[in-house]
Structure 1
Amino acid sequence: MESQRSILIIGLLLVSFLLWIEYQEANAPQAIIPAEQTEQARSETEQSNETGFVPQADNDSLISPVNTDTSNKQRLINVTTDTLHLVIDTLGGDVISADLIKYPVTQGGDDAFQVFSNKAATLYIAQSGLIGKQGVDLSTGRANYNVPRETYVLSEGEEQIVVPLSTVTKEGIIVTKNFVFTRGSHAVEVSYTINNTTNSPAHVQQYAQLKQSLVEREGGSMFMPTYRGAAYGTLEDNYEKYKFPEFEDEKLNLATQGGWVAMLEHYFVSTWIAPKTGTNTLYSTISNNAAIIGYKGESLSIPAGETTTVSSTLYVGPKDQDTLAGLAKGLDLTVDYGILWWLSQPLFAMLKWIYDLVGNWGVAIIFITIIVKGAMYWLTKKQYESMAKMRALAPKLQQLKDRYGDDKQKMSKGMMDLYKKEKVNPMGGCFPMLLQMPIFMALYWVLLESVELRHADFALWITDLSIPDPWFVLPILTAASMFLLQRLQPMTIQDPMQQKIFKYMPVGMGVFFIFFPAGLVLYWLISNVITLVQAKIIYASMEKRGLKTK
């Protein structure tokens, strides 16, 4: 019995430790540039904005100088829809600012969450363009577009607005870069119409990239840090996480059909989605203290006198799994549930289905916990029955110990014979718990990573399930429920150290839960309460059958 109890204690501590380590690894800030280098980084970043990194065309001989007239330099275009407020720079047609209108920074506030920013120390922008002999973007300069007006607003009743940027290359090729915004969407179609008015073929390649400063940012905390990193998807690998340190050590250079590249935060993502047809090359680099990840399309040959259109999709918004799955294969995996994603996704689908019925995420968490615990009742029953049988054998085990003393071989044989005679599996109480762990961990990541719980109201003082309980009520109740569970399982441990660990575990876990989102603690509390009820039912049933439970 003591060894079984020890295994249970160690198992619980190990699971808690692994959850903490995995959370820290998945969400810890990737601080690459020390704070003391911020001023230097700002200077270099401002310089990089003047020219910027642009990938080389496949055939270097195709590259030739372009018109880099800057008379229209940095004429900013403001675009407002029902979901986005974007600022586009006519120099390169870069998206240099993006606010998510429906996702305020503070709950109920009007301070929209900002994804993109062109501030030097927190640079994070989306760039795109054309390269090649007749391309308008080169490493020596960016295209300088003209635009009819500087403000675009999606009016009531409108479903789409188009923001056209245009320029003419020195050869006389007319390029129109269109940004197409759709009501209710965070996805923006970016297309290029290339009108070859010359007497010879034009050769161009489309590219798109995300650029983010590596200067350490403020925000987050020890227990709830803000994640910064990248990811990409190819035809062969639907989702690959790509941390900033890997940009320098392992530069990306992958050819794939379709594909996408992304920059990730806790609840939000920006991504360029390449055309699904043709072969694209995914790349990454570090330039002027900024991480860059992008894709480059195939080289296009446009016959003289003809017009060709190429396009890609920019998404900047929440990690909404249904939306992301519809945009590109594997993009929904940016909602990073870890190695148990295959289990977390159906659990999230169930949670969302329940929410659609009850209209409250806190109530949905309670119901899904009831469903999961109910489905695993037979495992809980086996666990408690096994533990009760082991307690009943405690006097006989003590007799064996008194009889054989320090003779471990005879003691071991006597115990095995006793287990066989009484039909008791000494590990029967551990296996059910081990089988339940993947489900608990999967649900843990669902509640931690799902943007739907951000600013989600529950009841009374719990107005945001994604932040810790401000009054610590849930952590205290959870610790109390763990204490009551202990009372149902009389302590038979003889080792003083193990006794102390087991005795004070509820207190330690209560302190631990103070720093975790209220939604997670609510789930754990309800799980404990259900376990208490199930234990009472199981023990009552066992006593009716004449089995000793205490």
Structure 2
Amino acid sequence: MDTRRLMLLLVFGLSLFMLWDAWQKHQNPQLAPQAQTQGGAPAAAADGVTPQPSSGLKAAAGQIETAAPAAAAAAEKLSVSTDLFKVEISTQGGDLVWQELARFSAHSDKTRLFELFSPKHKYAAQTGLIGDGLPNHKTLLKPVPGPRELAEGEDSFQVRLEAPVVGGVKATKVYTFRRGSYLIDVAWEIENGGKQTLTPHAYFQLQRDQTPPEGDSFMLSTFTGAAVYTEAEKYQKVAYKDIAEGKAKFAKQGNDGWLAMVQHYFVTAWAPQGDAPREFYMRKVADDPSGGLYATGLILPVAQLAPGAKAEVKVPLFAGPQEQATLKQVAPGLDLVVDYGWLHIIAAPIFWALEFINKLVGNWGWSIVVLTILIKLAFFPLSAASYKSMAKMRQMTPRLVQLKERFADDKARLNQEMMKLYQTEKINPLGGCLPILIQIPVFIALYWVLLGAVEMRDAPWILWIKDLSAADPYYVLPVIMMASMFIQTKLNPTPPDPIQAKVMMMMPLIFGVMFFFFPAGLVLYWVVNNILSIAQQWQITRMIEAGGDKPKAANDAKA
């Protein structure tokens, strides 16, 4: 029995350790100074302003007078609003520097709306053109008069900003906003009024510091960093630390794919359409005094421009919640930013089932309850076998204690007598482990689904639970969970070793305190699962102890 109990304890402990270790891998401590750019990757200019394409993508650009970068103090901000969000666009480079999402509240203050792009995180979407005299994200642009909000009855509108004309070249940055969409088209229109042929490039980058988002903590640390996807290399996460140390591994070139900045529940991504060649780059911003600012982006070629010719390069920018159905429509593989790790093959159908149930019941809290019941029913035969083995072991506890007292000084004889008892009673001391081992991946996958689903954010359940992604404000669910774990401990066989018995009695308190910091949706799942397990285990134990499935040794003694 000692072996079986230790196995269960080790399995549970290992599962929790794996989760904790995965969280900590995504922590972002203060990092070392910027390393040299890796070979084959687009390089930053010496002043850290404009990325440069590699020789494979670059062609000779026309030589015209260089436009001087504008001073930040001279820039103004344009307020723009749609039905889903508000943004601010700086006239310096036309950067998107602030965004407030109308459907999501801030983590710490529910009276405020959530900010994705924000000066607080130095988080911005930047674009520019590569070529002498062409505007970059430091150039002061002039806003063109036009609408700044989505009018009633309109489905879209544009915001245009013009760059200074240098050498006869006119460049205009164009934002297109649409109703009911987090997708923003960002384009550069170029008109070559000069005398030389131009072959410019355009870059689209996301700049952010390494500060974790609100709600990220030691107990619930999720990935914050960059991500790249190409059809050949698939989904690749890149930590800030690897970027700073020059160890970042990601696809540098391709004819498809997207680039993103990922954080818990939300994502920003540049998702070029079509099969135009593109290069991806990541770097630590050298001229940032804080030492923790990163730029990740992509470079696209623009059509060759003869004198008098015009061209346009456009890339959609997604900036919003990680709603998987929406992300799948934006770009192939973008839904992978909702990262379930190595359990994705199990977690994906679990989320699909949870989403389907929610369409029927209309409440994510009750959807969690229903899904937990369905999973419990699916594993009912395995759980029954495990609890039956535990019940039989529970009946053996007095005899095992006697054996331990009798052969306390002879460990070899004790093990021999214990094995003999197991054979006589036809009990496998590890019989309860295999069913539990089979269920563990499913339960961990469900855990990650509930942790990563943005649908839980601001989703109420009942009464005091107003947000399933936040901790229970009155700790009612964690206390219920602690009580349920204590009841389960009482239903399980008592270990003959007093120290082991005390450890098992402390487990509800230890794990209960941990769950005080967990989102209410996760704790709700564990509470429902524990209550169902208690009911099943109590019924099986009662049937075995009251029925005719008593130990043979006890029956022989009565005879």
Q: Deviations over 1:39-96 (max 9, x none)?
A: xxxxxxxxx9xx8621014448537443337499523222100112111122222111
C-alpha deviation, 1:406, in angstroms: 6.9
Specify the alignment match of 2:40 in structure 1. Answer: none
For the residues of structure 2 that align with 1:201 and 1:420, how far apart are their CA atoms?
89
Q: CA deviation at 1:472?
A: 1.6
- Equivalent runs, 1:92-103 vs 2, <5 Å: 92-103=93-104
**Structure 2 CA distance, aligned partners of 1:228 and 1:505?**
32
Q: Distance in 1 between matches of 2:336 and 2:172?
A: 34
Q: Measure, in 2, the Cα distance between the counterparts of 1:441 and 1:219.
A: 21
Which residue identity lines up with residue 77 of structure 2 in the other structure?
L
Report the counterpart of residue 335 of structure 2 in structure 1.
332
Q: What is the CA–CA distance in structure 2 between the aligned matches of 1:403 and 1:432, rounded to whole Å?
A: 33
The aligned counterpart of 1:248 is 244
Tell me: CA distance 1:226–1:105, structure 2 relative to 1, closer, same or farther (3 Å): farther
Displacement after TM superposition at 1:317 (Å): 1.1
The corresponding residue for 1:129 is: 128
Which secondary structure does the structure 1 equivalent of 2:148 belong to? strand
8 Å contact from structure 1 (residues 77, 150) kept in 2: no
CA distance in 2, matches of 1:350, 1:107: 30
Would you say 1:428 and 2:424 are equivalent positions?
A: no
Aligned to 1:202: 198
1:24-103 superposed matches below 5 A: 24-26=24-26, 28-32=27-31, 53-58=49-54, 59=58, 62=61, 64=63, 65-68=65-68, 70=70, 73-103=74-104
Question: For the structure 1 residues 483 and 215, does the alpha-carbon distance in structure 2 shift closer, same or farther, using more than 3 Å as the test?
Answer: closer
Are the counterparts in 1 of residues 161 and 172 from structure 2 also a CA contact under 8 Å? yes
The yes-or-no answer on 1:363 pairing with 2:366 is yes
Partner of 1:146: 142
After superposition, where does 1:408-419 map in structure 2 within 5 Å?
419=422
Q: Aligned with 2:464: secondary structure?
A: coil
For 1:270, give the aligned amino acid.
Answer: T
Question: Which AA in structure 2 matches 1:80?
Answer: S
Q: Which residue pairs with 1:267 in the alignment?
A: 265
Give structure 2 stretches of 5+ with no counterpart: 34-43, 555-559
Code of the residue aligned with 1:316 in structure 2: it is A
> Offset at 1:136?
3.1
Match of 2:491 in 1: 488
SS at 2:447's partner residue?
helix
Tell me the equivalent position of 2:171: 175
CA 1:509–1:142 in 2, change beyond 3 Å: closer, same or farther? closer
- 2: CA distance between counterparts of 1:78 and 1:395? 75
Give, in whole Å, the separation in 2 of the partners of 1:402 and 1:143.
Answer: 84
| Helix, strand or coil at the partner of 2:49 | coil
Superposed CA deviations along residues 137-196 of structure 1, whole A, max 9, x for unmatched, are 3xxx84443322376010121111111223364232333322111111111011223333
Which stretch shifts more, 479-488 or 105-114?
Answer: 105-114
> Does residue 284 in structure 1 map to residue 282 in structure 2?
yes
Q: Which amino acid aligns with 2:104?
A: Y
Question: Which of 352, 356, 378 is equivalent to 2:355?
Answer: 352
Q: Name the amino acid aligned to 1:123.
A: K
Q: In the aligned structure 2, how far is the partner of 1:243 from the partner of 1:291? A: 11
- The alpha carbon displacement at 1:264 in A equals 2.0
Matched, 1:6 2:2: no
- Most deviating of 329-338 and 183-192: 329-338
- State the partner residue of 2:532: 530
What displacement does 1:377 show?
0.6
Per the alignment, residue 449 of structure 1 pairs with: 452
Cα contact 1:180–1:189 (8 A) shared by 2: yes
Q: How far 1:531 moved relative to its partner?
A: 0.6
CA distance in 1, matches of 2:406, 2:501: 26
* C-alpha RMSD over aligned residues: 3.2
Match of 2:233 among 224, 227, 237: 237
Match of 2:21 in 1: 21
TM-score, normalization: structure 1?
A: 0.86
Unaligned runs of 5+ in 1: 35-47
> 1:117 aligned to 2:118?
yes
Call closer, same or farther: CA 1:19–1:262 in 2, change over 3 Å. same
Deviation of 1:215 (Å): 6.6
- TM-superposed deviation, 1:286: 0.9
For residues 260 and 267 of structure 1, what CA distance do their matches in structure 2 show? 18
**What is the Cα deviation at residue 399 of structure 1?**
8.5
* Residue 481 of structure 2, aligned match among 466, 473, 478: 478
Measure the CA separation in 2 of the matches of 1:22 and 1:71: 43
- Helix, strand or coil: the match of 1:350? helix
Which deviates more from structure 2 when the two are superposed, residues 391-400 or residues 56-65? 391-400
Residue in 2 that maps onto 1:381: 384
- For 1:19, the aligned partner's letter is L
Instruction: State which drifts further: 208-217 or 505-514.
Output: 208-217
Residues 397 and 481 (structure 1 numbering): CA distance in 2 closer, same or farther, change over 3 Å? Answer: closer
Contact 1:253 1:284 in 2 (8 A): no
Q: 1:179 to 1:539 in 2, by over 3 A?
A: same
Q: Is the 8 A contact 2:397 2:493 kept in 1?
A: no
Q: Residue 199 of structure 1: CA displacement?
A: 5.2
**Post-superposition shift, 1:387?**
2.3
Does the CA-based 8 Å contact 2:69-2:138 persist in structure 1?
Answer: no
Q: Is the 8 A contact 1:30 1:227 kept in 2?
A: no
Tell me if structure 2 keeps the 8 A contact 1:154–1:161.
yes
1:98-123: CA deviations, max 9, x gaps?
1112212169955221121246xx31
- Whether the 8 Å contact between 1:481 and 1:525 is mirrored in structure 2 is yes
Q: Secondary structure at the match of 2:163?
A: strand
| Count of equivalent residues | 528
- The 1-side partners of 2:543 and 2:233 are apart by 51
Residue 228 of structure 1 deviates from its aligned partner by: 3.2
Cα pair distance change 1:225/1:452, threshold 3 Å? same
The Cα shift of 1:235 comes to 2.1
CA distance in 2, matches of 1:544, 1:216: 56
Tell me, yes or no, if the aligned pair for 1:77 and 1:149 is still in contact at 8 Å. no
Q: How does 1:153-192 map to 2 (within 5 A)?
A: 153-167=149-163, 169-192=165-188
> TM-score, normalising length from structure 2?
0.85
Equivalent-residue separation in structure 1 for 2:463 and 2:256 (angstroms) = 48
Corresponding residue for residue 39 of structure 1: none
The answer (yes or no) to whether the contact 2:108–2:214 under 8 Å persists in 1 is no
1:429-472 C-alpha deviation (Å, 9 max, x unpaired): 11111111111111111111211111111111111211221212
